[in-house]
């Protein structure tokens, strides 16, 4: 069973998997005290809205490795029985990696993945929000250069280490695989409110727009069903 954690993060030209490209990837191996960080030339212009968030410009990636070379380096860094941990891994970083490996004509290694956002929503339901920067503030961790891959990775390592304390990786993966009832709204304008206080018309709107069909919201949907909120919602 994979037990060695490696924290990683990607920065991209946008949020559409299959259209947008990874422009930076970073990782931190705390057990071996090693770091990996690489810009990636996306072979397309970086949209201004992406640069506004990441501060990564076309000039910064102009001479960077192409995706195939960067992923080969990343794979070598993440060799062995490792668990790749990222914040919003299931909905963002992992799918981007899968697509980019395919686009580069490479087979993605058989890694174990862990989503720290999923852990936070499940075991810190007392918190109103679960973004990386909110968690950084909640745990009193020093500010960094947000939305740059290596900085976010190092902050995530500090946050997740405090969230799981001395739990073994085996136990963490076991707990995360178990279903548990969500008690507070994890996102949106009602984030942090007990689910019993969420307006039924808002739940119906979420259902109508497909938000509850997303993989990461399966437990939330199940809880709303138990509360009787989805009867005739769609």
pLDDT confidence of residue 179: 63
pLDDT in tens, 62-99: 999 999 999 999 999 999 999 999 999 999 999 999 99
All structural domains of the chain, each given as residue ranges with its CATH number in brackets, are: 4-177 (3.30.420.10), 181-234 (no CATH)
Please say if the pLDDT value at position 218 is more than 90.
no
Give dist(CA 169, CA 175) in Å, integer.
Answer: 10
Average pLDDT of 95-114? Answer: 97
Q: From the candidates 55, 87, 130, 147, which is the catalytic residue?
A: 147
Please say if the pLDDT value at position 54 is more than 50.
yes
Q: How many CB atoms lie within 10 A of CB 187?
A: 17
pLDDT confidence of residue 144: 74
Please say if the pLDDT value at position 216 is more than 90.
no
pLDDT confidence of residue 146: 65
Query: Does residue 147 have an active-site annotation?
Result: yes
Average pLDDT of 161-186? Answer: 84
Tell me which residue has tokens 């909120």. 229
Helices (H), the chain: 48-54, 58-61, 67-77, 94-103, 116-123, 132-138, 149-164, 169-177, 200-208, 218-226
Angle between helices 169-177 and 116-123 (to 10 degrees): 70
Q: Read off the pLDDT band of 234 (50, 70, 90).
A: very low
Nearest to 117 by CA among 137, 99, 135: 135
Q: Read off the pLDDT band of 24 (50, 70, 90).
A: very high
Q: How many CB atoms lie within 10 A of CB 234?
A: 9
């Amino acid at each position: 069973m994979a037990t060695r954690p490696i924290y990683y993060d990607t920065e991209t030209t946008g949020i559409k998997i299959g259209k947008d490209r990874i422009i930076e990837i970073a990782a931190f191996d705390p057990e071996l005290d090693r770091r990996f960080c690489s810009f990636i030339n996306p072979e397309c212009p970086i949209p201004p809205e992406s640069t506004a968030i990441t501060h990564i410009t076309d000039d910064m990636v102009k001479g960077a490795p192409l995706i195939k070379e960067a992923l080969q380096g990343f794979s070598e860094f993440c060799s062995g029985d490792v668990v790749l941990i990222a914040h919003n891994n299931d909905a963002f970083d992992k799918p981007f990696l899968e697509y980019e490996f395919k686009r580069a004509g490479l087979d993605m290694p058989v890694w174990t993945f862990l989503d720290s956002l999923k852990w936070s929503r499940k075991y810190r339901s007392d918190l109103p929000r679960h973004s990386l920067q909110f968690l950084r503030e909640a745990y009193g961790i020093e500010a960094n250069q947000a939305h740059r891959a290596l900085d976010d990775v190092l902050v995530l390592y500090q946050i997740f280490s405090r969230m799981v304390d001395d739990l073994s990786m085996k136990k963490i993966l076991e707990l995360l695989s178990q279903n548990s009832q969500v008690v507070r709204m994890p996102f949106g304008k009602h984030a942090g409110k007990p689910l019993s206080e969420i307006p039924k018309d808002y739940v119906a709107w979420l259902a109508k727009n497909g938000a509850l069909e997303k993989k990461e919201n399966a437990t939330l949907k199940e809880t709303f069903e138990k509360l009787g909120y989805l009867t005739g919602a769609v």
